[in-house]
């Protein structure tokens, strides 16, 4: 039976593994560090929770089904997932990466990776030719975010995948902002999809988690070995929280997007708002790419206001919307990238990318959109 994405969010594609005989509708939390062997040389399929746990396995099954890969691995955080992924590289290898990445990923590449002899070249990946030009003889990975964080630039996954294949590079796509509900990078030629599952997949601002999904059996085996060795796996309870969150992913993503579109149109009418960044704007140069490779534009919006003083006033005066880091939860959050998510990026680089004291990034929640607009109005204009 072919299942649509909403059904896959709730059930996965196939019947779940029978590890419980109670008939529990909600998959149980197997809060056990270790599992009994029936006899020498025999196993129930579970030995030790660092290797695998029934609750984490069920979550990985559903995420893998959503992204349509061959394997999905759940990690304790999004950055744990990024770290494990970059561990498949060797000293002397080279990465071509989006310049407008999440600041924590840039920090990792510019510190730990550099220390380990791995060089990264950051380019504007919304221009395919930049990726081609940045390829070196030792380039092993192309790492992109699309939409980017926080400037919402769009990279053409299909075209970049051609460059990756021609140069025998692994193409990684951070799909945190759009999720497999709106975008499926593996179907467009990516080799690995990355998620900070803390965000939309879990969806309730109550847990930390990360994911790697791949369509390569070879990459899967390397990542499974790394995960087993470094041990940054997702706990049973957090696996259950993310699993529960995914059951409403399709409903939440539609509401996030519906609200975001209305807020974007309202922001465009405000004199104090200088510019608005949202993947679904028809005037975007990359709108056709967005439409070609996805089925939606998501709930993330960035905007410049006219002065730093107004930006700080908004952060102080908002009442319903909350000034907090992170994104993708049911609650609307607003952040100050210059001093929060991208604080570790060198100042000149931040400013060159438009990340200045006038830029705010909003994760639009699922509240009534009229209440959100009323809150923005009083914070911006009064």
Q: Which two tokens stand for residue 115?
A: 């220390």
* Mean of pLDDT over the chain: 96
Q: Looking at domain 15-246, which of 3.30.9.10, 3.50.50.60, 3.40.640.10, 3.30.43.10 is its CATH number?
A: 3.40.640.10
pLDDT value for 213: 98
Known catalytic residues are: 50, 102, 174, 199
Q: What is the spatial distance between Cα 382 and Cα 373, in angstroms, rounded to a whole number?
A: 13
Q: How many CB atoms lie within 10 A of CB 81?
A: 28
Q: How confident is the model at residue 342 (pLDDT cuts 50, 70, 90)?
A: confident
The candidate with the shortest Cα–Cα distance to 176, out of 94, 67, 284, 285, is 67
Torsion angle, alpha carbons of 374, 375, 380, 382, to 10: 80
Cα separation, 96 vs 135, whole angstroms: 7
Residues of the chain with CATH 3.40.640.10: 15-246
Least confident of 19-28, 65-74, 141-150: 19-28
Q: pLDDT tens, 4-22?
A: 999 999 999 988 888 888 9
Query: Is residue 145 within 8 Å of 166, Cβ to Cβ?
Result: no
Listed residue (30, 33, 12) closest to 22, CA to CA:
30
Q: What is the pTM of this model?
A: 0.96
| pLDDT band (50, 70, 90) for residue 2 | low
* 299-303 mean pLDDT: 98
Fold of the domain spanning 249-381: 3.90.1150
Which whole number is the average pLDDT over 89-106? 96
- If DSSP codes are grouped into helix, strand and coil, which group holds residue 120? strand
Q: What is the pLDDT of residues 41-68, one digit of tens each?
A: 999 999 999 999 999 999 999 999 999 9
Q: Where in the chain is the domain with CATH 3.90.1150.10?
A: 249-381
Which residue do the tokens 């902002």 mark?
177
With cut-offs at 50, 70 and 90, classify the pLDDT of residue 126.
very high
| CB-based contact 335:149 (threshold 8 Å) | no
Q: Are the beta carbons of 175 and 188 closer than 8 angstroms?
A: no
Least confident of 111-120, 208-217, 289-298, 349-358: 349-358
Contact in structure between 215 and 180 (CB atoms under 8 Å): no
């Amino acid at each position: 039976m072919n299942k649509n994405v909403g059904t896959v969010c709730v059930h996965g594609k196939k019947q779940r593994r029978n590890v419980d005989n109670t008939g529990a509708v909600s998959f149980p939390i197997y809060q056990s560090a270790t599992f009994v062997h029936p006899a020498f040389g025999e196993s129930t399929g579970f030995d030790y929770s660092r290797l695998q746990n029934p609750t984490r396995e069920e979550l990985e099954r559903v995420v893998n089904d959503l992204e349509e890969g061959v394997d999905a691995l759940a990690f304790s955080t999004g950055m744990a997932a990024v770290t494990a992924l970059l561990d498949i590289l060797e000293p002397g290898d080279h990465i071509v990466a989006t310049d407008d990445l999440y600041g924590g990923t840039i920090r990792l590449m510019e510190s730990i990776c550099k220390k380990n002899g791995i060089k990264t070249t950051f380019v504007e990946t919304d221009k395919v030719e930049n990726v081609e030009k940045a390829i070196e003889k030792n380039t092993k990975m192309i790492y992109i975010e699309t939409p980017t964080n926080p400037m919402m630039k769009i990279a053409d996954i299909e075209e970049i995948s051609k460059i990756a294949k021609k140069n025998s590079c692994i193409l990684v796509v951070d799909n945190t902002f759009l999720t497999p509900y709106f975008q499926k990078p593996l179907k467009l030629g990516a080799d690995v999809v990355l998620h900070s599952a803390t965000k939309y997949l879990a969806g309730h601002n109550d847990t930390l988690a990360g994911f790697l999904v791949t369509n390569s059996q070879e990459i899967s085996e390397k990542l499974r070995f790394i995960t087993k060795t470094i041990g940054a796996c997702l706990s049973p309870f957090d696996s259950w929280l993310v699993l529960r969150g995914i059951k409403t992913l399709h409903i939440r993503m539609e509401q996030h997007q519906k609200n975001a579109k209305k807020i974007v149109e309202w922001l465009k009418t405000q004199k104090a708002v200088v510019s608005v960044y949202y993947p679904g704007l028809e005037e975007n140069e990359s709108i056709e790419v967005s439409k070609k490779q996805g089925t939606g534009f998501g709930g993330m919006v960035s905007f410049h206001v006219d002065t730093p003083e107004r930006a700080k006033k908004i952060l102080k005066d908002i009442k319903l919307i909350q000034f907090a880091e992170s994104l993708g939860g049911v609650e609307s959050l607003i952040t100050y990238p210059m001093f929060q998510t991208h604080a570790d990026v060198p100042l000149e680089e931040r400013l060159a990318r438009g990340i200045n004291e006038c830029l705010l990034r909003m994760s639009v929640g699922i509240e009534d959109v009229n209440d959100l607009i009323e809150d923005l109005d009083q914070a911006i204009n009064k």
